Amino acid sequence: MNIVILSRSPVLYSTQSLARAARLRHHSVRVIDYFNCDLIIDGIKLIVSYKGQIQTDIDAIIPRIGTSWTGYGAAVIRQFEQLKIFSTLSSQALVKARNKLVCSQILSAAGLPLPKTIISNNSQSYSSLMNEFDGDKVVIKLINSTHGVGVLLANKGTQAQNILETFTRSNQKSLIQEYIQEANGTDIRVFVVNNKIIGSMKRQAKAGEFRSNLHQGGSSTEEKISDQEAKLAIQAVGALGLKVAGVDMLRSKRGPLILEVNASPGLEGIEKTTRNDIAGEIIEFIENNVVQE
């Protein structure tokens, strides 16, 4: 098969791991920087050109879209979708999963448990909205945050209100969320490929930090998840229409809560922590779905 990995750089861990897994299975692999793809729409013909070359003979694409390039990444995927090329990530699912607000609305509509979340543009109501939350702290997040950057823990009083006002004034969309204190700086990452759980790990924030992101100095260990957690992870991925995803969950007093679903989940943390061949599973998923002439 001819597989294209849409990635900003061939040296990224996940890109290399996927390329290696594909070559091991005797596929031909190309890495294309989607941001530098030219999209040609010529009447009813859609063409993707990269470095002056029209991209043809592609059996499948694996989009690895960075959060800063979601919009253009989705456009490139859409162009390939119109060409009926198999993709491990649909443009629609990417756009839905990337926006924390849209994602929460979809998951909630699907009956999945989430931390209580409020979105508001009204500075006047911030103080009364705080009464919606128990405890003396709330989590404030930029809607498009990633790697824990733009995720803050704040006291419910003037501190939270000042942060919200600053975000609103600088035109940054944010949300207020119930702080799940009992999670104790840990969360669970569940890796799902084609409705199957292929790895799970627990991430622990470094001392004095509540965010467990590995990019914020967190550490990870392999973790067995409960049947309920497995079911929720698969339902969440299904609700968003994803096939390859990383689901983050918090263990709360009232059971597991879904924090977010990552549409281009990194492979480094999960592969190194679980020693599972995650990239191989993704390639196998493609093999099972692309009909070769």
Ligand X SMILES: Nc1ncnc2c1ncn2[C@@H]1O[C@H](COP(=O)(O)OP(=O)(O)O)[C@@H](O)[C@H]1O
Using CB under 6 A, list all residues that contact ligand X: 115, 139, 141, 145-148, 151, 177-180, 183, 187, 210-213, 248, 250, 259-260
Query: In 3D, which of 158, 114, 128, 71 has the Cα closest to residue 252?
Result: 114
Q: Tell me the closest approach of the beta carbon of residue 32 to ligand X, in angstroms.
A: 26
Nearer Cβ to Mg ion (229/248): 248
- CA 77/CA 61 separation, integer angstroms: 8
The residues that touch Mg ion, with contacts defined as CB under 5 A, are 248
Q: What is the smallest separation between the CB atom of 272 and ligand X, expressed in angstroms?
A: 18
Measured CA to CA, the distance from residue 250 to residue 186 in angstroms comes to 7
Q: What whole-number distance in Å separates Cα of residue 159 and Cα of residue 117?
A: 18
**Tokens linked to 50:** 């990269």
Give the DSSP letter of residue 236: H
Q: Between 4 and 180, whose beta carbon lies closer to ligand X?
A: 180
Instruction: Count H helices and E strands in the chain, helices first.
Output: 9, 16
- Comparing CB distances to ligand X, the nearer of 77 and 180 is 180
Nearer to ligand X, 46 or 101 (CB): 101
CB of 205 to ligand X, least distance (A): 6
Task: Give first-to-last CA distance, the chain, whole Å.
Answer: 10
Which of Mg ion, ligand X, none lies near 115, with the C-beta cut-off 5 to 8 A by kind? ligand X
Q: Between 60 and 267, whose beta carbon lies closer to ligand X?
A: 267
Measured from the CB of residue 197, what is the shortest distance to ligand X in angstroms?
A: 19
Q: Which does 8 bind (CB under 5 to 8 A by kind): ligand X, Mg ion, none?
A: none
CB of 183 to ligand X, least distance (A): 5
- Which residues lie closer than 8 Å to 86 by C-beta, 6 or more apart? 59, 60, 61, 286, 289, 290
Cβ 61 to Mg ion shortest distance, Å: 25
Smallest separation (angstroms) from ligand X to the CB of 246: 10
Cα 12 from Cα 10, distance rounded (Å): 6
Binding-site partner at residue 183 among ligand X, Mg ion, none, CB < 5 to 8 Å by type: ligand X
| Spatial contact of 187 and 203, defined as CB atoms under 8 Å apart | yes
Q: In sequence order, which residues have a C-beta less than 8 Å from that of residue 223 and are 6 or more positions away?
A: 188, 200, 201, 202
The residue among 37 and 250 lying less far from Mg ion, judged by its C-beta, is 250
Identify which of residues 49 and 172 has a Cβ nearer to ligand X in the complex. 172
Which residues, at least 6 apart from 154, have a Cβ–Cβ distance to it below 8 Å?
Answer: 137, 138, 139, 140, 160, 163
